[in-house]
A and B are shown apart, each in its own frame.
Chain A
Amino acid sequence: MNKNRTYPTYFVFGALLLYVALYMLPSVIGLGYSFTDWSVYSEEIHFVGWKNFATVFSADYNYTRMLTNTLVFTVVTTLAKNVIGLALAVLLTKKVKLLNFHRAVMYLPCVLSALIVGMIFKSVLNPKIGLLNTFLRGIGLKFLASNWLTDSKIAFNSVMAVDIWKGMGYIMTILIAGIMSIPPTYYEAASIDGGGPWQCFRHITLPLLAPTLTVTTVLNVIYGLKVFDTVYSLTNGGPGFATEVMYTGVYKEFGLGRYAVGTTLSTIMTLVMLVAGYFMIRHMVKGDGQEI
């Protein structure tokens, strides 16, 4: 059987064409535009060297805030989602009644649009009538009631908390699948040797879940660096620049018509993630038998 005739390469062309034109090409020409003064007002485009990069990395501008916010967001949500997701996964692989109901509920926020989740939490976190403050006042913790989304000191924490609320079920679902793939004989052997629940977790579950946890960490890091939806719908970067991340920054530059600076921000992110992504993708496709 002639492989090239039976499996013609032109079957790949449709997907490849769209992917190259609308996904890869913008990144490539974006690299070029990062060195120009392209804006909505410019009739012709000039080469300006590293000027845009200098603007982005200059200490006196709000870009440093975006950069640190994005990094903080990535680290905090990755850690929190992994820890909470792991705890949930361990809990929901025990003998719990209505197990599937609980699992379904935990995953539910993941299928809602981030825009919708943002609107829901604008209500829940409303300082006067929001569910959270009403609840805190009701149980006598009035001093904890805050302006969750408008106080610039805590707004970013609120945004991260909402994102963790939305995303922890996803991590839990992956980890449940990981825990279920651990052969039960390991736990039986441990219990014969007198191992308690903590020892089982520490010496069986955790080490055998390590590959899965690596994948969830990488997925979370990629998601965190790219985050836009949740931040946009909750605070749109405000108050001031308190919750600004890289991609809300890109959108603002787009709105202001400063295309070159916005493109530069994107290019920086693309280069960072190209390096990180390459290793992750290699890891993901390794077991696939593909020669690369």
Chain B
Amino acid sequence: MKRRKMLSALGVNLLAWLLSLILLAPLLLILLNSFKTGKAAAAMNLALPSSLEWSNYALVIEKGKLGTAFLNSLLYSASSVLLCTLLCTMASYVLSRNRRRLHGFLYLFLVLGIAIPINYIPLMKVMQTLKLMNTRIGIVLLYTATQIPFNIFLIHSFVGKISPEIDEAAVIDGASPAGLFFRIVMPLLKPVLVTVMVLTFLNTWNEFVMPLYFLGSTDKWPMTLAVYNFFGMYFKDWNLVCADIVLTSAPVVIIYLLGQKYIVSGMTAGAVKG
């Protein structure tokens, strides 16, 4: 009996490792080859590099114009995070606290966007009319708009868990609506706001469809599109392409490792009602 238990524990562990390796192998392949010489990388195998070619990275940053692309991505992600978090928190707070019929309808209308796809071609018309085509501000507003539904859904359920008695006490003490929201309620929402900020940052950093449709000039492209463009030009130099992939993915992987707890809680919210 004991032996059977040990065998099954061993089997479970082996299986977990096997699966993890299937997930890791392609990622390891990219990391290893980003340090190889062009010749060694042409074989695209999992052999360890004989020497570390850091020059690949320097070359990619220069040839792929990654400096500008990095700043663009950072600008789009940071601005969307700030704008989206602020607008969504204000909206979810009022929609959760003030439950008239109108607010119920507005909440459903806003979160319906989780399911509804974007109609890109007429969106181009709207962007042209608003003079937002091929502008940085236009892309930031688009990223904000597309992430409103899910973020409102996340924050709304969290606001409901905070007792309204706190609000009453603050109002009796003479707090204005804005003062109550910014000074009392918002600090209490910190856990869900961190989740929202992390998810919004990752989504914006990874997205590339909006720039594909709405950013014509390459100097405004974010990292994802820059790396794809680079791949089109240097697809034979796998060492350079791999270095480019590593540089583009490094920020999201770092944020993932640091904020795993928040990402998972955001991703599972709503799906599991405990």
Contacts and interface: CB of A to CB of B under 8 A. Distances in A.
Interface of A: 1, 3-9, 11-12, 14-16, 18-19, 21-27, 29-30, 33, 88, 91-92, 94-98, 101-102, 104-109, 111-116, 119-121, 123-124, 126, 129-131, 134, 165, 169-170, 173-174, 177-178, 181, 211-212, 215-216, 219, 222, 225-226, 228-229, 233, 247, 250-251, 253-254, 259, 262-263, 266-267, 269-270, 273-274, 276-278, 280-282, 284-285, 287-292
A104 B97 contact: no
A108 B23 contact: yes
A11 B224 contact: no
27 contacts: A5-B177, A9-B98, A12-B94, A12-B103, A15-B152, A23-B148, A26-B126, A104-B260, A111-B252, A115-B206, A120-B26, A120-B27, A131-B25, A131-B45, A177-B271, A181-B272, A216-B271, A222-B114, A228-B209, A229-B209, A251-B120, A262-B120, A266-B117, A273-B117, A284-B111, A284-B270, A285-B111
Q: Which 4 A-B pairs have the closest CB atoms?
A: A277-B115, A113-B206, A26-B123, A22-B145
Interface residues of B, number: 112
A126 B41 CA distance: 13
Interface in B198-245: 202, 205-209, 212-213, 224-225, 227-228, 231, 238, 241-242, 245
Nearest to B252: A111
B241 A3 contact: no
Contacts of A211: 273
A97 B15 CA distance: 11
Given A116-B224, A116-B248, A3 B98 contact: yes
Given A12-B95, A113-B206, A177-B271, 8 more contacts: A11-B94, A26-B119, A29-B122, A33-B122, A108-B27, A108-B256, A262-B121, A288-B157
Contact of A123 (B29, B102, B145, B205): B29
B123 A113 contact: no
B16 interface: yes
A222 B16 CA distance: 29
Contact of B108 (A126, A269, A292): A292
Contacts of A215: 270-272
The majority secondary structure among interface residues of chain B is helix
B239 to A, nearest CB: 11
A151 B42 CA distance: 22
Contacts of A280: 114-115
A164 B94 CA distance: 39
B101 interface: yes
A23 to B, nearest CB: 5
A286 to B, nearest CB: 9
Contacts of A233: 228
B119 A113 contact: no
A262 B102 CA distance: 35
B98 A174 contact: no
A276 B253 CA distance: 34
B141 to A, nearest CB: 6
Given A288-B160, A292-B108, A119 B272 contact: no
Contacts of B53: none
A6 B171 contact: yes
